[in-house]
Amino acid sequence: MRSQYARIRPAIRDVGIGFLRGVVIVLHNGLFVQSIAPAHIASLFFTCGGARMQPTVAEALRWTGPMRWKRETTILGWRRSAASAGLEAVRTASGAALVNAFVGRYSSRAFEPSPPGWIATVTLGRTLLTPPPIERLAAASEVIAGYLEGLVWDQLAQAGAS
């Protein structure tokens, strides 16, 4: 396991271990990655105005706890639609066979000094109970981050139009 993460060390900003979540990392672009077999869960956090946040592992673990988000949008990778078109690029770049994404609005009742307003998450998996190689995910992190940021901006545009 140690050698697996040593290969992507230059891309890692922070690393830790989450209770029942295994090894978790924050990459330099703010992407929070949880490696829970058989998948990787990659999340980005945003302010209410849509600016990307750069959390520490401790903040990201706290923000991804249960009962903290109200799901606004879900995109299933196996359904072909306009919303899943960008998800195909993420799937190809990361080497995943199965991908899903969601956008959520922060709704925790716990006091937070500076909580995120939005979260965008993509789940990347493969068959045979093995996640895609972490090296592929690190290499595709900018593609993933761009896709997730686009989802949040789309959600902000919809909220502004209504």
109-152 pLDDT, tens digit each: 777 788 899 999 999 987 766 777 888 999 999 999 999 999 99
| Cα distance between residue 117 and residue 51, in whole Å | 10
| Structure letter (DSSP) for residue 131 | P
Q: Which of 118, 115, 116 is nearest to 105 (CA)?
A: 118
Pairing of the two strands 22-27 and 118-125: unpaired
Helix (H) or strand (E) holding 3: helix 2-6
The model's pLDDT over 57-90, given as tens digits with 9 standing for 90+, comes to 999 999 988 888 899 999 988 777 777 788 999 9
51 — alpha (psi -120 to 50), left (phi > 0) or beta?
beta
